[in-house]
Structure 1
């Protein structure tokens, strides 16, 4: 990409302005960034429905209802169940502490000098229970909070209602906006820029449109499977395994370990733990043979290390908004690095040493 001096200055200025806007207006940008992510995920489906003969508006309405139907269902069904299971875990911590002190700790201390306070779940459970009571007490003191922080409450509610509104309009005009941005590119930059954007979309799409859907599917599969065998905290463990699978095999390891521990305490004998093994083996088989080939395909997504670093760096720099834009930025940086690598391999700087050796 051969940029003129003025274009390089302009690119630097635009990048600086964007950085400052995200840094200083992060809380304001949150609903818009969330809406952009939802619109990006929903646009391919809207385009597909449009190609089948539906109008753009009707296609967007169908996708909009699907997206927010899933979100509302999760809020009304999954979250209360998760909250109940978290509360149960907090109450069971002292029981697990007593069992570890009686059966595990003496055996470990025979071979290793270890401080028994490391296994003090009682203090942890007290703190968690205290935080849980505070969280439950928020509704009781809601009227007082409204009178003292009405502006913050109004802002939160406004942001909450902004997300579906902005998402709808972004979905409806997504293709137009992309076309307008393309037309604004300098003519000498447009071919390379469009190629890089398409490559970014492929990388990011392989992750967001593929890996995130795999995560959701795995969370549902593990939750249903563990529920069918009667395991306590099935939904909590299943969703934990699904979320953690953003890093390959991490979800399987964490979910399997947690499920085995719960099955050990809950069931007599080894049948319960055997059923847990079956559930996770089925989940891994479905992920490897069905979900990943179908939803991700052979596209190259983001490396797990890049995902971890991007999320941590984005959260550190820009908070919640930074975590939302971290993965798109990681995809862009990854593609730009590939582009620089290709240019370097084709440059005289790379081939100069070989030419000197031949001489």
Structure 2
């Protein structure tokens, strides 16, 4: 009888485990169908509370919570965006607030001063950078077809005869050089420029930015003012057994990511300023656009500079630049890169990441493959963080 009772209990445990797995599967399925994940997650929660002693049920509940959290955040991303931006700004500005506090300035006043500085910088950017940026993109978009036609003519009248003369030109190559490459180039350029123009000129974009310009500073102020209290609250969510571990991990993440992001923001700003100034001096018509693009791509080690140089040279050719001025275009990019690599970055970023160049390349390829542009942006600090944990384990 005792054996039969134990057997029944085992069967019940197996049944409960199978049922929990089915509910878990339905949660995943419902994320992309008409069934509400909120309703299903509530069922899983109730099921867990009634059968929490079952190990499989507990594991399924943890996985379900993670999946549901990702889905929930994704659904509310548009609503949460101002809070996410405000948190990032507060995180980046917190060292400045700490510095001002050491100078006997109250935290509330320090937060207010910092936000006012950011608003002034944003206002100056909107007034002096955005209008010429949009204007230059519009001009480049209007002139692109004519310049593409000139490139096609250059291929057919100059390049193709030379290749024919050496006997290395085949019909397929001729077709590619004379028609396919210019057509694809125009398509890519038009798509890129139209996308940028739509982003900065759309009515909904402007309306959203006006709202964000009011909401984000307010949220940022409260986050900065109560930064320490919020941090303490998060730490206190953990029991004493895990609190020290959490503090250690959070401190390491803050050190690696914080130094990397803050450092690269400053370096990228310097990068964009140097490139814009250099290209303006040699007469490139779209220097502001190329400078902003160079600053944004600067977050991608190695490849960012290559992409910026390629686009800058191509745009310079399309805009009619020639002679010694055209030769100086790569000189501006390469010169800035040398200046940044040997003088600017070591001073500002220092050894915050400390990865070998081969590991940096590997991180860029792997994270870029799985995560695209975002993967390339976060690949280096994430790799540095993982390696630091592995070294600690050893």
Corresponding residue of 2:102: 51
**2:181 aligned with 1:181, yes or no?**
no
CA distance in 2, matches of 1:278, 1:123: 26
CA contact (8 A) 1:36 1:170 kept: yes
With structure 1 as the length reference, what TM-score do the two structures score? 0.73
Corresponding residue of 2:264: 211
**2:305 aligned with 1:252, yes or no?**
yes
Q: Which runs of 4+ in 1 moved over 4 A?
A: 7-17, 125-132, 152-160, 262-265, 301-316, 325-334
**2:165 aligned with 1:114, yes or no?**
no
CA distance in 2, matches of 1:174, 1:207: 21
CA distance in 1, matches of 2:193, 2:298: 30
- Relative to 1, partners in 2 of residues 1:200 and 1:127: Cα closer, same or farther, differing over 3 Å? closer
Corresponding residue of 2:253: 200
Q: Which moved more, 1:104-113 or 1:117-126?
A: 117-126
CA distance in 2, matches of 1:276, 1:9: 58
- Relative to 1, partners in 2 of residues 1:247 and 1:199: Cα closer, same or farther, differing over 3 Å? same
Q: Which moved more, 1:22-31 or 1:12-21?
A: 12-21
Paired residue for 1:298, among 351, 357, 362?
A: 351
SS in 2 for 1:114: helix
Corresponding residue of 1:35: 86
Residue 32 of structure 1: CA displacement? 0.4
CA distance in 2, matches of 1:217, 1:129: 24
CA distance in 2, matches of 1:261, 1:204: 34
CA distance in 1, matches of 2:101, 2:309: 42
CA distance in 1, matches of 2:220, 2:128: 23
Residue 25 of structure 1: CA displacement? 1.4
CA contact (8 A) 1:241 1:255 kept: yes
Q: Number of matched residues? A: 320
- Relative to 1, partners in 2 of residues 1:278 and 1:172: Cα closer, same or farther, differing over 3 Å? same
- Relative to 1, partners in 2 of residues 1:12 and 1:123: Cα closer, same or farther, differing over 3 Å? closer
Q: Which moved more, 1:201-210 or 1:113-122?
A: 113-122
CA distance in 2, matches of 1:68, 1:129: 29
CA distance in 2, matches of 1:328, 1:175: 26
Corresponding residue of 2:32: none
SS in 1 for 2:285: coil
Residue 291 of structure 1: CA displacement? 2.1
CA distance in 2, matches of 1:330, 1:183: 31
Bigger radius of gyration: 2
Residue 160 of structure 1: CA displacement? 4.6
Corresponding residue of 1:68: 119
CA distance in 2, matches of 1:195, 1:239: 37
CA distance in 2, matches of 1:307, 1:253: 14
CA contact (8 A) 1:36 1:167 kept: yes
Per-residue displacement from partner, 1:297-327 (whole Å, max 9, x unpaired)?
A: 11117946656876886799xxxxxx6x997
CA distance in 2, matches of 1:59, 1:82: 33
Structure 1: gaps of 5 or more residues: 146-151, 317-322, 346-359
Residue 273 of structure 1: CA displacement? 2.9
Per-residue displacement from partner, 1:187-218 (whole Å, max 9, x unpaired)?
A: 11122211111111112113211112211220
CA distance in 2, matches of 1:327, 1:255: 15
Paired residue for 1:286, among 339, 348, 353?
A: 339
**2:339 aligned with 1:339, yes or no?**
no
CA distance in 2, matches of 1:130, 1:336: 38
Q: Which moved more, 1:31-40 or 1:238-247?
A: 238-247
Residue 15 of structure 1: CA displacement? 4.2
- Relative to 1, partners in 2 of residues 1:222 and 1:285: Cα closer, same or farther, differing over 3 Å? same
Residue 244 of structure 1: CA displacement? 1.0
- Relative to 1, partners in 2 of residues 1:18 and 1:338: Cα closer, same or farther, differing over 3 Å? farther
Tell which has more relative contact order, 1 or 2 (C-alpha 8 A, sep 6+): 1
Corresponding residue of 1:79: 130
CA distance in 2, matches of 1:252, 1:222: 11
- Relative to 1, partners in 2 of residues 1:12 and 1:190: Cα closer, same or farther, differing over 3 Å? farther
Residue 102 of structure 1: CA displacement? 1.6
CA distance in 1, matches of 2:224, 2:325: 47
